[in-house]
Amino acid sequence: MRTLNLVQAVREALDLALAKDERVLVFGEDVGRLGGVFRVTEGLQEKYGEGRVFDTPLAESGILGLAIGLAMGGMRPVAEIQFAGFLYPALDQILSHLGRWRHRSRGRVGLPVVVRAPYGGGVHTPEQHADSPEAILAHTPGVKVVIPSSPERAKGLLLAAIEDEDPVFFLEAIKLYRGSRAEVPEGYYTLPLGKARVLREGGAATLVGYGGMVEVMLEAAEVAAREGVEVTVVDLETLVPLDEDTLLEAVRETGRAIVVYEAMRTGGFGAEIAARIAEGALDYLQAPVLRVAGWDAPYPPFSAVEHHYRPNAKRVLAALRQVLTH
């Protein structure tokens, strides 16, 4: 089977969606002629024309407003926000309208909008380019939040998101774009939204994360295994709706949980995971739930100290020692 990186897998999914359904439109800043800042949409405008793959002004609120209007008119827009940290000017559209129309219209009007955005650090980007705002999106009623951790998962999940009848935010870890390759099935396939995956099983503790932190957790698990400590690794993949059954079952099996995410610690989605564990698995816990996260400060731009901010395997292993010696 051929291997693709995350950029190629997402591009292939968009290509297949555009070919399958004439209602699918792809647009955003520089996605047309340039092919996107990361070249995810490269070649799609040439193939499908300027009417279906097109550039927008540098106005994120306008991009979201356009997506909402097109969806209300029967189209299936896939909007790209150049970096997730640029979503903030669009929060009014997101918080006040995007997720509310299903409820506002008493179920009659859904908005099949997909908003793609690169997020997270690891590649020394300027200020705001490495932000991880998934907790803000997850706190928005009426939207789904999906964060894939590998090329093959990204392709199937994105196609499922485009088929969904309600808004989906699809965040893609910048660090993973060209950081690795994986076998990706050819042709059209979807993967279910709202399902977590157990990537590795072990009895000592459970590591829980998503997106760019999955490779960090797997690296830590590999190091721990060489020292005779086997851990379970859970890739949540979809934050909303959260697969609480898989999460709680994995934690109940080990009695110890470490949540790993690269957004700032306070108010991050990891706090929600810890709360769900406390509500559903408290009687099974042998140690407090720990969070390994970014610090409560803006992500350092262009910085040689970036590796101190973004969680790595060393910090995960330190947390693992802490829960094992509690």
> What is d(CA 143, CA 141) in angstroms, rounded to the nearest whole number?
6
Paired with 206 in beta bridges are 232, 257
Residue where the block lists tokens 């993949």: 237
How far apart, in Å, are the Cα atoms of 90 and each of 81, 137, 212? 10, 12, 24
**Of residues 97, 103, 124, 129, which has the active-site annotation?**
129
Helical axes 313-324 vs 213-226, angle rounded to 10°: 60
139 noted as active-site residue: no
Q: Where are the alpha helices (DSSP H) in the chain?
A: 6-20, 44-48, 60-72, 91-93, 101-104, 134-138, 151-163, 213-226, 244-254, 269-281, 306-309, 313-324
Write out the two tokens for 302.
């262009």
> What is d(CA 96, CA 246) in angstroms, rounded to the nearest whole number?
32
The DSSP output letter for 84 is G
DSSP structure string for 49-76: -TTTEEE--S-HHHHHHHHHHHHHTT-E
Contacts of 193 (CB under 8 A, 6+ apart): 144, 146, 157, 160, 161, 164, 168, 238, 241
User: Given the DSSP bridges, would you call strands 290-294 and 114-119 parallel, antiparallel or unpaired?
Assistant: unpaired
Q: What are phi and psi of 98, to 5 degrees?
A: -50, -50
- Determine the 3-state secondary structure of 290 from DSSP: strand
Catalytic residues: 129
